[in-house]
């Protein structure tokens, strides 16, 4: 009788799922990292570049066509506007830096994720890694709130920021939100009951650190996305899960006192942004108006990549403050300049003009339409929506909603690239809906 020979180290490495290269990118975001005053790349950004290189080497070795024609058009569409905006940048260095960042987030890393994810099992592995990262960052954030060691908010060091520090107050909110969206998608799938209950428990646990992030934009985007996921999974299930969320909220607010006056004031300010806005809202409106002014000045091509800070003062009113104050979470007092409009659509419109916005937004809209069409087809064929579809479409909906209140920047931006990659796998992957479950 023949006996199988033990696999050598090289053979064992080759049998590992390629998606582990993307999982490594997610895992590195758990590390604390404090860039200098001039900023700096996070280790996760460097590993994302290595993942792209690894994907390219696999394609060369296997001698296979990298992308379908549709995928190449949809993912390559932003390159047109980016090339024009980079050519019109204030300096070659700024143009190249901006071009590299946009290509990383919206073209190269999403394409690598699309090619490295083989089947739904890989999607679940990647989604669970994002949930695990969210739980870790959320736990750090809750500890910061309880021990008053977080970022400064209204004079108290209670804002949960995880390991990202006060200079990136949106980092933990983004990670926790995306992890919550993944958990909800996994909980609504047709996997074994034990796995779905665990995912649902993770989603409920992540509500607390999300609340303590004091991020209104993340709250809105998460609420919109989870409501969409529930409705896509079925109205009956949406009502049942909605009742569970309400019950959990009652326990958190009434039993544990999570609903502090500070948190209630922050939530209430969402409905008062037009009547009595605070300074942060005033600054945001002012920068939005400045971005619109830049676009009116150069409607087709914009002011060039990385050009918003240079042209801001020429278009902003006197209502704009000199900067935002950051303190706490292991860092000293610092005043940060306001260098972006905190609205991705307006940032693209200001720096890339109509050409860039139509190219980028056209790519995103194509992913959304194709993803929802595939989701509807899967429901019609199998009678239910796969968890990987709910995860992929949910991540895309969250990003497109959050872009109305935020733009790219900071270490958590690499998760934006991964989210677009998962959305591309479901929307553009030829085998995404045919590969059997595993």
pLDDT in tens, 386-425: 899 999 999 999 999 999 988 898 889 999 999 999 999 9
pLDDT at 1: 45
pLDDT at 336: 73
Q: Note the pLDDT tens digit of each residue in 8-55.
A: 555 555 677 899 999 999 999 998 876 554 456 789 999 999 999 999
35-74 per-residue burial string, b: 16 or more CB within 10 A, e: under 16: eeeeeeebebbebbbebbebbeebeeeeeeebbeeebeeb
Rounded Cα gap, residues 438 and 433, in angstroms: 13
Q: Note the pLDDT tens digit of each residue in 146-184.
A: 998 888 877 788 888 899 888 888 899 999 999 999 999
**pTM over cut 0.85:** yes
Q: Provide the percentage of residues in the chain whose pLDDT is more than 90.
A: 47
- At 341, list the tokens: 């409009």
Closest by Cα among 425, 419, 417 to 371 = 425
pLDDT at 271: 56
pLDDT at 436: 47
- pLDDT bucket at 313, cuts 50 / 70 / 90: confident
Measured in whole angstroms, the distance separating CA 10 from the mean position of its chain's CA atoms is 34
Least reliable range by pLDDT among 51-55, 183-187, 218-222, 262-266: 262-266
Q: Provide the percentage of residues in the chain whose pLDDT is more than 70.
A: 79
Mean pLDDT of 115-133: 94
Rounded Cα gap, residues 343 and 36, in angstroms: 25
Measured in whole angstroms, the distance separating CA 342 from the mean position of its chain's CA atoms is 14
Average pLDDT, the chain: 84
Rounded Cα gap, residues 115 and 257, in angstroms: 46
pLDDT at 52: 95
Q: Is the pLDDT of residue 317 over 90?
A: no
Q: Note the pLDDT tens digit of each residue in 330-360.
A: 666 666 777 788 899 999 999 999 999 999 9
Rounded Cα gap, residues 330 and 156, in angstroms: 14
CB 30 within 8 A of CB 137: yes
């Amino acid at each position: 009788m023949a006996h199988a020979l033990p696999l050598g180290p090289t053979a064992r490495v080759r049998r590992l799922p390629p998606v582990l290269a993307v999982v490594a990118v997610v895992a590195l975001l758990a590390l604390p990292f404090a860039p200098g005053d001039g900023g700096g790349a996070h280790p996760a950004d460097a590993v994302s570049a290595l993942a792209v290189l690894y994907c390219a080497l696999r394609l060369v070795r296997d001698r296979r066509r990298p992308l379908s024609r549709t995928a190449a058009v949809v993912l390559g569409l932003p390159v047109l506007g980016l090339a024009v905006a980079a050519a019109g940048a204030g300096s070659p260095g700024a143009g190249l830096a901006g071009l590299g960042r946009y290509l990383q987030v919206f073209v190269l890393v999403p394409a690598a994720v699309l090619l490295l994810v083989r089947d739904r099992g890989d999607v679940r592995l990647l989604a669970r890694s994002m949930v695990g990262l969210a739980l870790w960052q959320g736990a750090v954030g809750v500890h910061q709130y309880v021990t008053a060691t977080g970022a400064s908010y209204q004079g108290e060091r209670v804002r949960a920021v995880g390991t990202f520090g006060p200079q990136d107050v949106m980092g933990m909110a983004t990670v926790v939100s995306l992890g919550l969206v993944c958990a909800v998608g996994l909980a609504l799938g047709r996997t074994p009951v034990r796995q779905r209950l665990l995912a649902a428990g993770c989603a409920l646990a992540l509500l607390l650190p999300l609340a303590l992030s004091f991020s209104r934009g993340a709250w809105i985007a998460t609420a919109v996305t989870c409501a969409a996921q529930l409705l896509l999974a079925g109205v009956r299930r949406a009502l049942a899960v909605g009742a569970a969320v309400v019950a959990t909220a009652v326990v958190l607010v009434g039993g544990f006192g999570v609903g502090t006056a500070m948190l209630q004031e922050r939530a209430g300010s969402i409905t008062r942004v037009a009547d009595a806005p605070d300074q942060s809202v005033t600054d945001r409106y002012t920068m939005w108006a400045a971005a619109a002014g830049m676009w009116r000045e150069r409607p087709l091509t914009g002011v060039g990549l990385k050009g918003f800070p240079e042209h801001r003062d020429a278009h902003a009113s006197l209502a704009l403050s000199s900067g935002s104050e950051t303190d706490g979470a292991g860092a000293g007092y610092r005043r940060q300049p306001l260098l972006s409009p905190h609205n991705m659509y307006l940032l693209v419109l200001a720096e890339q003009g109509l050409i860039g916005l139509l190219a980028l937004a056209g790519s995103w809209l194509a992913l959304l339409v194709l993803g929802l069409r595939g989701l509807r087809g899967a429901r019609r064929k199998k009678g239910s929506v796969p968890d990987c579809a709910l995860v992929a479409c949910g991540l895309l909906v969250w990003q497109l909603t959050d872009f109305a209140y935020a733009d790219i920047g900071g270490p958590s931006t690499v998760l934006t690239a991964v989210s677009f990659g998962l959305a591309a796998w479901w929307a553009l992957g030829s085998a995404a809906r045919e590969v059997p479950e595993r």
